[in-house]
Amino acid sequence: MTEAEATPRTGKRVLLAKPRGYCAGVDRAVQTVEEALKLYGAPIYVRKQIVHNKHVVQTLEAQGAIFVEENEEVPEGSTVIFSAHGVAPEVYEQAKARSLKAIDATCPLVTKVHHEAKRFAAEDYDILLIGHEGHEEVIGTAGEAPAHIQLVDGPDGADKVTVRDPEKVVWLSQTTLSVDETLETVARLKQRLPLLQSPPSDDICYATSNRQHVVKEIAADCDVVIVVGSTNSSNSVRLVEVALDAGARAGHLVDFAHEIDDAWLEGATTVGLTSGASVPDDLVQEVLAYLAARGFGDVEEITTANERLTFSLPQELKRDMKAAAARG
């Protein structure tokens, strides 16, 4: 240990995680709603929350987006956008039956899992889908091949699995899970099913993995880790869990800076700060300002990866935007 490391820091500081906030799939989904509002005019209907973030939903509502739970709530012939979490095939059929103009804002990394589910089902595999029961992404993926897919909700769920042929079984996963918990679940499954196959490529998305990795790097140095994100955001909730597992003394999830309890900061010298993949960075900046006002003015950004991935807008929207541009 160097002398600098051995000397306790007296100043209050923030360890700011990077990467944090918006991932490519969220950016694309939010942009899809914004561009649709510009192109077609309000109202634009969105089935479910476009992404799991309270602030984003409120902002888009103010611009003219109307969020609904099901297609039946959308007036016939209107435009509906499907959220970043993906939908089952029957949702497309329902939209067609109501003559809705459907724009699919499903994250391409979720679409990849859907394709894997269809392919393995076509080859008559039993598919073990690791994920959280009731999550929109899980419902959408399971809907691709309901006769072949069974949900495994965490390591303990592995003990309840039954398959037709232990030599013909594969696991897939929700994209926003804890990396470590998923690996633990797979290990438990393999104890019972040694020939369990893995997906052709990792299902947990790069952004989820990256955000968890940097939190692991900073957690042990933090008295408290604050994660900006909504309670229905799976990847945001996981970040708090990862921080605590990696040695943070405390961890809290907040949507906005004003939700921070000053009691969390009492006696703290180091605060870790990150945000879920559906969180715009201005919310993080507001938390930084809040912390600075309470003496945490020394901010050190800890970077473990640089993300450059981008996704193009849905084809149906791009086609209409191009046609509109050509008309002048």
Instruction: Tell me whether residue 114 is annotated as binding.
Output: no
* Residues in CB range of 168: below 8 A, 6 or more apart: 124, 125, 126
Please give the order of strands across the beta sheet that includes 149-152: 149-152, 126-130, 169-173
91 near 71, Cβ under 8 Å? yes
Residue of 35, 116, 136, 137 marked active site: 137
CB count within 10 Å of CB 91 equals: 21
Instruction: Tell me whether residue 235 is annotated as binding.
Output: yes
Instruction: Tell me whether residue 222 is annotated as binding.
Output: no
Instruction: Tell me whether residue 175 is annotated as binding.
Output: yes
Instruction: Tell me whether residue 278 is annotated as binding.
Output: yes
Instruction: Tell me whether residue 52 is annotated as binding.
Output: yes
Instruction: Tell me whether residue 252 is annotated as binding.
Output: no
139 near 73, Cβ under 8 Å? no
- CA-closest candidate to residue 10, choices 219, 224, 229, 269: 269
Residue type, 226: I
Instruction: Tell me whether residue 310 is annotated as binding.
Output: no
* Residues in CB range of 86: below 8 A, 6 or more apart: 106, 107, 110, 111, 113, 114, 136, 137, 140, 141
- CA-closest candidate to residue 242, choices 276, 212, 266, 271: 212
Instruction: Tell me whether residue 23 is annotated as binding.
Output: yes
Numbers of helices and strands, H then E, in the chain:
11, 12
- CA-closest candidate to residue 55, choices 209, 284, 252: 284
137 tagged catalytic: yes
Give rounded-to-5 percent helix, strand, coil for the chain: 45, 20, 40
Q: Which two tokens stand for residue 150?
A: 């069974």
Binding residues for isopentenyl diphosphate: 52, 85, 135, 233-235, 278
Residues classed as catalytic: 137
Give the annotated binding-site residues. Answer: 23, 52, 85, 107, 135, 175, 205, 233-235, 278
Binding residues for dimethylallyl diphosphate, by number, are: 52, 85, 135, 233-235, 278
As annotated, the binding site for [4Fe-4S] cluster includes: 23, 107, 205
